[in-house]
């Protein structure tokens, strides 16, 4: 999504209230909310004979994405049709990358495209149904019908989950939070850029005492490069999160979901999880940060020991150090005068050996 524009909402929901407000759209709204996706919908049935209210127009322009629920009487509402026009207009704006997802709710996409059945709109003796306006609406219906979306004709549970997954992935929530007013990152990044450009040099290990800035450096690298990889994952605070017997398994599930594009897989055990992650890492070009690795077993469990796609990049941060670290460079922390030491590795077992 566009990086500089400030949005108020993740999703704008366009729907015909009398068709779906208390059923499908309500379930979708609450599902999006549970997933942490900020969604706009009008809570009251407003007089559809009036012009779009300013807050509706503002909400569409302030949303990253729109879901258009096309139901039986959607095209009988001038309000809904005007919403659709504005949504598609927003989609064409170069500065916002507005994503539109149509949901064909018990209607045939072909009927929407060809304006058949309840979508056969025409000029009426009304100031709202003028020839010019109807032409615009017809073009909008054809356009939205040609977009990739979902057709619902049976049970809605599985479709709801798929819709939420698509929106979640489109929102590009992978950027990690950085502290404000950090300095020195640009200089450090220049020394790491050559590693990012080098094939067959997959691992970067960053060592530093607690508070030295190693995690901040890893976040900076991650945020600058995440869009250039097929899949990305940032797993933070591994050392403190691996306390219980099932903690490592949960981290494996998180990593696997990230590098499979949001597809959640149930893992029966850590060994099985290691194999599944290993298979995925061979196929996909990924950027992964494993923050605060304390033990070699954690590294092996999360990455396996097999081959990794030559174009992938794995960043490891750790507080553990030995005299055998390969020193790429040393940076003195601005505040606490502690050192960060980085090393490049071609193979996973080199990284494991250094932490061991």
Tell me 183's DSSP state. -
55 is catalytic: no
Interatomic CA distance for residues 139 and 137, integer angstroms: 5
Interatomic CA distance for residues 181 and 162, integer angstroms: 39
Interatomic CA distance for residues 169 and 261, integer angstroms: 7
Kindly name the residue from 44, 50, 51, 83 that is annotated as catalytic.
83
Looking up tokens 């450096």 gives 217
Query: What angle do helix axes 296-303 and 270-283 make, rounded to 10 degrees?
Result: 60
Parallel, antiparallel, or unpaired for β 286-290 and 313-318?
parallel
Strand extents, DSSP E, the chain: 9-14, 39-40, 63-70, 99-105, 150-152, 203-208, 231-235, 286-290, 313-318, 329-332, 339-345
Query: What angle do helix axes 24-34 and 157-170 make, rounded to 10 degrees?
Result: 50
- Residue 162 three-state SS: helix
Would you give the distance in Å from CA 298 to the centre of its chain? 26
- Which residues on neighbouring strands pair with residue 245, listed in sequence order? none
Give residues with Cβ within 8 angstroms of 26, minimum separation 6: 20
Looking up tokens 């729109």 gives 66
Contact between residue 264 and residue 257 where contact means Cβ atoms under 8 Å apart: yes
Q: Which residues are catalytic?
A: 83
């Amino acid at each position: 999504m566009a990086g500089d524009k400030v949005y108020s909402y993740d999703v704008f929901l366009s729907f015909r209230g009398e068709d779906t407000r208390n059923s499908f759209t309500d379930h979708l709204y609450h599902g999006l909310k549970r997933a942490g996706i900020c969604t706009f919908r009008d809570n009251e049935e407003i007089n559809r004979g009036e012009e779009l209210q300013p807050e509706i127009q503002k909400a569409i322009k302030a949303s990253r994405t729109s879901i258009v629920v096309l139901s039986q009487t959607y095209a009988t509402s001038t309000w809904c049709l005007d919403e659709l026009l504005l949504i598609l207009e927003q989609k064409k704006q170069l500065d916002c990358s507005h994503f539109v997802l149509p949901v064909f709710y018990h209607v045939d996409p072909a009927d929407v495209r060809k304006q058949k059945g309840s979508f056969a709109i025409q000029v009426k003796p009304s100031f709202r149904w003028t020839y010019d306006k109807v032409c615009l609406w017809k073009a909008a219906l054809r356009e939205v019908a040609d977009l990739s979306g979902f057709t619902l004709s049976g049970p809605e549970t599985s479709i709801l989950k798929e819709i939420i997954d698509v929106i979640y992935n489109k929102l590009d929530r992978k950027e990690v939070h950085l502290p404000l007013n950090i300095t020195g990152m640009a200089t450090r990044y220049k020394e790491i850029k050559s590693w990012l450009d080098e094939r067959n040099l997959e691992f970067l290990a960053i060592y530093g005492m607690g508070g030295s800035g190693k995690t901040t450096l890893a976040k900076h690298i991650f945020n600058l490069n995440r869009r250039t990889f097929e899949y990305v994952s940032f797993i933070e605070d591994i050392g403190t999160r691996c306390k219980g017997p099932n903690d490592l398994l949960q981290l494996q599930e998180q990593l696997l979901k990230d590098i499979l594009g949001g597809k959640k897989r149930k893992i029966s055990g850590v060994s099985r999880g290691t194999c599944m992650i290993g298979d995925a890492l061979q196929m996909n070009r990924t950027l992964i940060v494993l923050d605060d690795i304390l033990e070699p077993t954690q590294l092996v469990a999360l990455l396996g020991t097999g081959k990794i796609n030559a174009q992938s990049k794995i960043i490891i941060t750790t507080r553990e150090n030995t005299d055998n670290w390969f020193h790429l460079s040393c940076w003195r922390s601005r505040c606490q005068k502690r050192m960060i030491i980085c090393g490049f590795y071609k193979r996973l077992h080199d990284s494991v050996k250094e932490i061991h």
